[in-house]
Amino acid sequence: MEFVGLEEDRLHFSWISSAEAVKFADVAKQVAEKVKVLGPNKKFVKRYPTKDTE
Amino acid sequence: MSEYEPKIVSFLCNWCSYGAADLAGVSRFQYPDNFRVIRIPCTGRMSPKFFLSALREGADAVWVSG
Amino acid sequence: MDAYTDKIKEISKKILSEGKVDVVIGFRKGTLGYMSEPYMAKSEKEAENLVFDCNCRMNLVNYVTNRKDKVGIVVKGCDSRNLVTHIIENKIKREQLYIIGVPCTGLADKKALLDLAEGEITSVEDDNETITIKGDGFEKKVAKSDVLQSNCKTCIKRNPVIFDELAGPEVAELEISDRFADVDEVEKMSADERWNFFGELLSECTRCYACRNACPLCYCPTCFVDESRPQWVGKSDNETDVLTYHFLRAFHDAGRCTDCGACEAACPMDIKMRYFTRKTIKDCVEKYGSEAGMELDKRPALDQYKINDPNEFIK
Amino acid sequence: MKMISIKKSDWAGAMEKVQKSYRLAGPVKEKKGHTFRELKDGETPDLEYSETRMSVKEVVLPQSEVMFSYSLDENKEGHHILEEVPFDETPRAAVGIRPYDAKAVEILKKNFMTEDYKDPYFERRYENLTLVGMAENNPSPVNFSTSCGTGPFDESCLDIILADAGDSYIGKALTEKGEKFAAAAGFAEGDSGVEAKLAELKEQAEGKIKSKVSFDKIEKMTILDLYEAPFWEEAAFACINCGTCTYACPTCWCFDIQDEVKGKDGVRMRNWDTCMSEVYSVHTTGHDPRHEAWQRTRNRFMHKLKYYLDKYEDGIMCVGCGRCVSQCPVNIDIRKVCQQMNDYEPSK
Amino acid sequence: MTLSEVTSISGEAGNFEVEVLKKPRYVDMNKCIACGACVEKCPKKVDNDYNAGLNKRKAIYVEYDQAVPLKFAIDAENCIKLTKGKCGLCEKTCPTGAINYDDKPETVKLNVGSVVLAPGFKAFDPSVFDTYQYTKFPNVVTALEFERLLSASGPTLGHLVKQSKDHEEPKKVAFFQCIGSRDINRCDNGYCSSVCCMYAIKEAVIAKEHSGGDLDCAIFYMDMRTHGKDFERYYEKAKDDGVRFVRSRVHTINPVPETNDLEVRYVDDQGKIQTEVFNMIVLSVGLEIDGSTIELAKTLNIELTPGNFAQTGTFTPVQTSRKGIVASGAFLGPRDIPQSMVDASAAAGVAGEGLAPVRGTMLKEVQTTPERDVFGEAPRIGVFVCHCGINIGGVVDVPSVAEYAKTLPFVEYTADNMFSCSQDTQDKMTQIIKEQNLNRIVVAACTPKTHEPLFQETLMAAGLNKYMFEMVNIRNQDSWVHKESPEKATEKAMDLVRMGVAKVALQNPLAEAQLQVGQTAMIVGGGLSGMAAAETLALQGYETHIIEKSDRLGGNALKLYKTPKGEVIGDKVAELVESINSNDKIKVHLNTTIENVDGFVGNFKARLKENGEEAFLDHGIAVMATGGKAYTPDEYMYGNDPRVLTTLEMDEKMKSDDSLVKDADCAVFIQCVGSREPERPYCSRVCCTHSVDNALELKRRKPDMNVFILYRDIRTYGEKEYLYKEARDAGVIFVRYDLENKPKVSVDNGNLKIVVKDHVLNRDLEIEPDVISLATAIVPNTVNDLAQFYKLPMNDDGFFIEAHAKLGPSEFATDGVFLAGIAHYPKPIEEAIAQGKAAASRAITLLARKEIFTSGQVAKVDPVLCSSCGICVNVCPYSAPSFKTEGPFAGKAEINPVLCKGCGLCVASCRSGAIHHNGFDNDQIFSQIFAVNA
């Protein structure tokens, strides 16, 4: 996805075991923070046609 | 920018991160409210279709956690 | 090339007459001077029509999917790797096949030929070194290396990996210094540049699916773009849908694509969709050290489940 | 009928002028060659081209066109009711189309604008459209339009015809619509020599067309004979069933209606469809009368060269533009297939 | 039964009377919903034992967040109400009225047939050592404390800091091994605690991960004992990662004045005194048996070893000295998780041997409501939103959420409940489902992980298929974590409910496949572990077949001489073989190989070649006890001189008192022959003990014989350490060598000569032995075909890969196939037998069910869409997909619902979109994605 130009921070992967509540909350904060920095996503978003496409 | 509240679709593994999220609740750890969780049986279930679809539908980010 | 053609005819007639195969799938001369058409010879007489030249741009493995009869097939190096994947993925059995391997010196880029032509092309001749384009009142000779299809310039396997018989002596493999230069270039761009680059790349796509249909890997009974439960990819020429299609198709070919170039050769709009598949090839080579279709007993890189070394040596 | 002669150097100015009252579509030179598309303001149709991959079909029957919009939100007024989408009534012109492509529009009309039924989407676009043709002095080697009842200088379906006469474009306004357009563009009036010059160019151009098809015998054969002819499997073997030929074809008119919904808002749209695809013919039961790839190929040729011929008794559903021939990835050639059909002698 | 202890056991095997004292919890387990409201209010803080006293908990508490049962308890010693009669805050706070200060202890009498003792261990308390000054310096911590510091759920949330007041991050950490182990001078624990080397390495590696690579970790040790499966690799990797290993026992720690640092003095490998300053010192404390356990053993009349572990026999590894009472875990000796798991299963298996005749005699039938057929009905969704007292209702606007849910498609009924999980609400829900004719239910409340089964029962009681249900997590993942923004939390709850409704609307009733389990067991391998497995299976009443490729039972044990405990192995094996042969439930197939296996759990079918003839054997489960063999060395003159023997050959010579041994004046044992080498990077686990034992035996036979053991690390783990000490006391000379400087064996004038570099003297030592015994590696037997038949994974060394390295050592990820003995990893007799019994015990849990019900949430192939590419077959870790061999869809894939674990890997991998995932199908997940935005 990055290859086609999606910002790196729009996709996050992590491994958190069921015991790692702290890590979960931390990662959640980081993810939210990074995405906020990026601003609203414009890529890959389907613009649904609402009226004549012309 | 402070107004901007992204919507982040999170796919959480039932056995790992979903449990961690539950536990975070038990422990009352506060974290941002931007996540909309979809419980999946295992991160192996995660298909590229879901990433694409989430973004297509206007999610600002996707978070997959196992 | 004529030598290949003669040998292919000879082998085909032999295996057809001996009953080793029911049909031979190869190429015949097209109606346009710069095209060869996939063709199935069912008799010795029809085998006379077979040819092989630098216009044989389609990947014939596409034509053997799920066949039940005994098939002779003409394959280049890349095609033979698709054949390996086909056998691994149960699309055909090795026993059904009589493989006529063509040590390949590359295909001529259709667009390059047309650009060189000064009128109608009546024939394109290829002696492995030089291409001669003949037409209405003109004749041009060019070095073959100047008009190669771009995938042929970075070919890693010109000789077939499996075959029953070769149509000519093996050729030297290419020495490639900078195999993924095109992909590297894109990777160097910023996210926005890449986004615009691909937007531009796909802007003319009409979703005719020639690339998919020319691809031997795309044999699913129902393609994901045609799935209806739910129908999550729209069918219009909407740019997101177009991108979704190209993007996910590349995902599906990851670890399996041999860069045969049939997709690009088939595209009526000259879209360079191999950027997508080549990125997956690069990643598979770099991350898993795996090339598609090199061995019959090795499944594609992303087809494997490996139990990771359990590294939590917790007491 | 007004003669037109306009210096090439004046062309851009005329187009700029006409854009004040018309929306234009035409050939534009891009990286990979000429494409035919809607023009942005200030873009000039480039008449110095040999071919465009897509035809004028896009203008009267866009690849994707929204028909209705609707809302599923029960809190909104008029929910669950299909609403028409607004249409821009500004006159449009397709400038620089080949005369035989205009003939294709005529063929499309047979489907979309019949006596009994008029497709409103097609009709409003057609009625609003002025067809400004650009005759072809050097038809491509795959062009066989003269066998199809039209040609590189066919005036029958155009509003204006233009032709390249060296340093100027000459031509004539053929209809009232054409005259209006010519006036809006301020085309200079041509002298009486124009007519003769056009005739001369026409003869030269038509003479250059070597490729021909005949369908005289097809007409006389029965559908069943042709349908069951033995050559189909071989003729269609190479076909990969992509949609290239159908999308490139100026006369292929099939479409598919789709709903797209996001949240509670949706649209109903129609998209080009292609008979080459399996989903085109598969029934909801799962049965597919044209399950085999070659059956779909046969259907396309039978429709173009036999069913249409029988139904409308007005030639074949083909204008001989040659796009499908040059764009087909596997070199399936309608000329060859037509020949095979015409030459076929049912054994009976 | 929690908070309980056994006070006495009377009677005998088969009919014990056990008296159990059940202490009061002061919290009604049926009412407690573990919401934690009480903890917030409780004013009394107490040291938290779970975090090794490093932080505080309250007097009402749950030990840790994942405790089972997840119910709170009041610590009576610290509760203000119970000690002083005041407070009572928790009672007021509890939304469900679960607090009961009047709870009383009660004595429960149980009548049981067998008893399993699993009392565990306690960590050694290093306060007794004044040298390490554990009590004096805050930065000297035990490994257990360090473990908690590293843990994400620990007091510092995994952030490593010093325990001195500055709480800075340490730069240098030292680990001292063998604290309270291998030491009879100061602590009387002469045994090796077995696990400390490995946990120290692990803690060092994790500390480096948490604190960044430049954290310096040094481990001070005597012998590095990484004898467990894959441990040696981990040790090597730790070295590569920069963990320092210093072979030395530190004698003093001195504080560095003005700092919180500690100076360490030790003697290095070359005999030089070194000093080094560390910020933290971790004492790798050993395992020991708690005094109360020793008391219990006395009460129960169970004999203990010198180390106070339960006394067992090598061939009866979990059997205590009292019949009917078995033991497991660290009570049997210091051990790690996998070994404890093996013991536990073995103990259960042995305990069950005596109970087989009465199995299933005390069960009760459960009443069920017939399931309503909802096929063809449009969805009628009921949405129940839970307040959970104030847990959700205090943050999220529950009535609005319920109101909002009404507007969603197909929702016919909504309600908000105070406590959805209470019995009366459940009954009401059942009634509403029936009255409103609902066919799909959404409950927005806590987490499905704890409450889904409860609500599913409600659905079943109302006659609905239990899968027509979706739980929306608005407590754990919403109200509890977004307390500060109630509006956003409410918005999120609405979004989540919308997603849940969208998903459940597409849910279909799911059937749970049922499968008969063939009641026959097949054991591959007639060695000790195979026979042990057969014995347990047969004693529990199952027809058992042993497949042995050779012409006799016994395997490697036939070549062994005696156990370190002195048991003559030959006699014991003969006894075992006799008991196997005389058991009419066991059929032994000698000279038999397995040609092919078809089928799956409960229904395997093997094609055998028995004495050259084809035979078939249907079996419900299989045990892989395929064993291993001695590696044949190509070094140390082996094969070139008859005086160079392998350990097994040495055993033979000792058995027959061969003149080679009898007349020898000098014997040398060389360790790690073929083990711990680059091409075989694992420790063979048994060789140190074996060589030490043989050396000792030689000394016993001929006390003036010169006996040398050339070793790299001596790994006599557990109570085997006593042998090592005894051998040193008896005059066996131990000389250590490095992999880089292996001993050199040559023949000089017809005499054997060994040159080895002595580390202490730092010069070459020449020995002229009369006999050399090579401790050769154990290599697994080649069983690639079996692995393929059952689709079992193997590691790079050729040992099978078990289901889980820690928690599932005796079974495979493939259902119905179990693992025992050397095929898993090299191990001594008692561990091989224990694992044989463990494998049998695991198998019995399956066999005893007679039929298996599978989850409905499995993957399913649509053959029309399947393209037969085989990716699902290849990618599945559980071998659930295969190709159909007959019928109209022959060649297409199908998934055996019994084997499918519902992970969805195949679904995601299927390019053709041909695999449906019941309960998590693509359309359902898409519908959730589509519903994310309103």
D316 CB burial (10 A radius; 0-12, 13-18, 19+): buried
Contacts of E845 (CB under 8 A, 6+ apart): none
What's the longest Cα–Cα distance across chain D?
69
| pLDDT above 70: percentage of residues in chain D | 99
Closest CA to E435 of E399, E463, E471: E463
When CB atoms are compared, the residue of D65, D86, D262 closest to A48 is D262
| pLDDT above 90: percentage of residues in chain C | 74
Mean pLDDT of C112-122: 90
Determine, yes or no, domain membership for A45.
Answer: no
Residues on chain E touching C224 (C-beta within 8 angstroms): 911, 913
Residue C304: pLDDT band (50, 70, 90) is low
Question: How many other CB atoms are found less than 10 A from the CB of residue C91?
Answer: 22
| pLDDT above 70: percentage of residues in chain C | 95
Residues on chain D touching E933 (C-beta within 8 angstroms): 263
Name the residue type at position B56.
R
Give residue-wise pLDDT tens across range E553-602.
Answer: 999 999 999 999 999 999 999 999 999 999 999 999 999 999 999 888 89
* pLDDT score of C313: 33
Give residue-wise pLDDT tens across range B16-47.
Answer: 889 889 888 888 889 999 999 999 998 889 88
Mean pLDDT of A2-7: 82
Domain region containing B58: 8-65
Do residues E104 and E24 lie in contact, with contact meaning Cβ atoms separated by under 8 Å? yes
Domains of chain E: 24-104 (3.30.70.20), 122-288 (3.50.50.60), 299-358 (no CATH), 381-505 (3.40.50), 516-629+780-851 (3.50.50.60), 632-777 (3.50.50.60), 858-917 (3.30.70.20)
SS (H, E, C) C15-73: HHHCCCCCEEEEEEECCCCCCEEEEEECCHHHHCCEECCCCCCCCHHHHCCCCCCCEEE
Do residues E693 and E566 lie in contact, with contact meaning Cβ atoms separated by under 8 Å? no
* pLDDT score of A7: 85
SS3 E359: coil
Q: What's the Rg (C-alpha) of chain C?
A: 21
Task: Report domain extents, chain C.
Answer: 1-106+155-172, 177-300
Q: How many CB pairs under 8 A join B and C?
A: 12
Mean pLDDT of D136-158: 94
Task: Compute the distance between CA of residue E109 and CA of residue E415 in angstroms, rounded to an integer.
Answer: 46
Determine, yes or no, domain membership for B1.
Answer: no
H or E, element range at E675: none
Domains in chain A, number: 1
Cα dihedral C282→C283→C285→C287 (10° resolution): 160
Do residues A47 and C199 lie in contact, with contact meaning Cβ atoms separated by under 8 Å? no
Task: Compute the distance between CA of residue E335 and CA of residue E830 in angstroms, rounded to an integer.
Answer: 13
Count Cβ neighbours within 10 Å for each residue of E173-196 and write b for 16 or more, e otherwise: bbbbbbbbbbbeeebebbbbbbbb
Give residue-wise pLDDT tens across range D233-266.
Answer: 999 999 999 999 999 999 999 999 999 888 788 8
Mean pLDDT of D76-90: 87
Residues on chain D touching C235 (C-beta within 8 angstroms): 256, 258, 271
Q: How distant is the Cα of D293 from the closest Cα of chain A, in angstroms?
A: 32
Residues on chain A touching D63 (C-beta within 8 angstroms): none
Give residue-wise pLDDT tens across range E502-553.
Answer: 999 999 999 888 888 999 999 999 999 999 999 999 999 999 999 999 999 9
Whether the per-residue pLDDT at A54 is higher than 50: the answer is no
Question: How many other CB atoms are found less than 10 A from the CB of residue C211?
Answer: 29
Q: Give CA separation, E594 vs E166, E188, E591, E840, in Å.
A: 66, 52, 10, 20
* pLDDT score of C314: 32
Task: Compute the distance between CA of residue E439 and CA of residue E376 in angstroms, rounded to an integer.
Answer: 11
Do residues C280 and C228 lie in contact, with contact meaning Cβ atoms separated by under 8 Å? no
SS3 E219: strand
- Whether chain B has a CB inside 8 Å of the CB on E447: the answer is yes
Determine, yes or no, domain membership for B38.
Answer: yes
Name the closest residue on chain C to residue E335, using Cα atoms. C315
- Between B26-30, C41-45, C96-100, E236-240, the lowest mean confidence (pLDDT) is in B26-30
* pLDDT score of D264: 82
Name the closest residue on chain B to residue A43, using Cα atoms. B55
Q: How distant is the Cα of B38 from the closest Cα of chain A, in angstroms?
A: 14
When CB atoms are compared, the residue of E496, E857, E926 closest to B41 is E857
Verify whether the Cβ–Cβ distance A5 to C247 is below 8 Å: no
When CB atoms are compared, the residue of A10, A12, A46 closest to B56 is A46
Where do runs of H (alpha helix) occur along chain D?
A: 8-18, 57-60, 99-112, 120-127, 176-185, 193-208, 223-227, 232-236, 244-248, 278-281, 293-302, 308-312, 323-327, 334-343
Closest CA to E410 of E432, E380, E433, E434: E380
The residues that bridge with E106 in the sheet, in sequence order, are E22
Domains in chain B, number: 1
User: Which tokens is B15 given?
Assistant: 């056995």
Do residues E661 and E654 lie in contact, with contact meaning Cβ atoms separated by under 8 Å? yes
- Whether chain E has a CB inside 8 Å of the CB on D76: the answer is no
Task: Compute the distance between CA of residue E70 and CA of residue E33 in angstroms, rounded to an integer.
Answer: 8
Do residues E605 and E617 lie in contact, with contact meaning Cβ atoms separated by under 8 Å? yes
Domain region containing A2: 1-10+20-38
- Whether chain E has a CB inside 8 Å of the CB on D263: the answer is yes
Determine, yes or no, domain membership for A6.
Answer: yes
Name the closest residue on chain C to residue E879, using Cα atoms. C305
User: Which tokens is E837 given?
Assistant: 């019994």
- Whether chain A has a CB inside 8 Å of the CB on D41: the answer is no
Verify whether the Cβ–Cβ distance B52 to C224 is below 8 Å: no
Whether the per-residue pLDDT at C310 is higher than 50: the answer is no
* pLDDT score of E763: 87
Task: Compute the distance between CA of residue D106 and CA of residue D104 in angstroms, rounded to an integer.
Answer: 5
Task: Compute the distance between CA of residue D135 and CA of residue D146 in angstroms, rounded to an integer.
Answer: 13
Residues on chain D touching C234 (C-beta within 8 angstroms): 258, 260
Give residue-wise pLDDT tens across range A17-30.
Answer: 877 888 888 899 99
* pLDDT score of C312: 35
Peptide bond into D27 cis (omega under 30): no
Q: Which chains touch A (3 or more CB pairs under 8 A)?
A: B, C, D, E
**Residue ranges in chain E whose pLDDT is less than 70:** 360, 363, 934
Residue A16: pLDDT band (50, 70, 90) is confident
Whether the per-residue pLDDT at B1 is higher than 70: the answer is no
Verify whether the Cβ–Cβ distance A21 to E66 is below 8 Å: no
H or E, element range at E696: helix E687-701
Count Cβ neighbours within 10 Å for each residue of D252-283 and write b for 16 or more, e otherwise: bbebeebebebbeebbbbbbbbbbbbbbbbbe
DSSP string, C165-197: EESS---PPP--S-TTHHHHHHHHS-HHHHHHH
Name the residue type at position C271.
I
Give residue-wise pLDDT tens across range D106-123.
Answer: 999 999 999 999 999 999
Question: How many other CB atoms are found less than 10 A from the CB of residue C89?
Answer: 22
Is the model more confident about E682 or about D190? E682
Q: How distant is the Cα of A53 from the closest Cα of chain B, in angstroms?
A: 18
Q: How distant is the Cα of E903 from the closest Cα of chain B, in angstroms?
A: 5
Is pTM beyond 0.90 here?
Answer: no
Residue C301: pLDDT band (50, 70, 90) is low
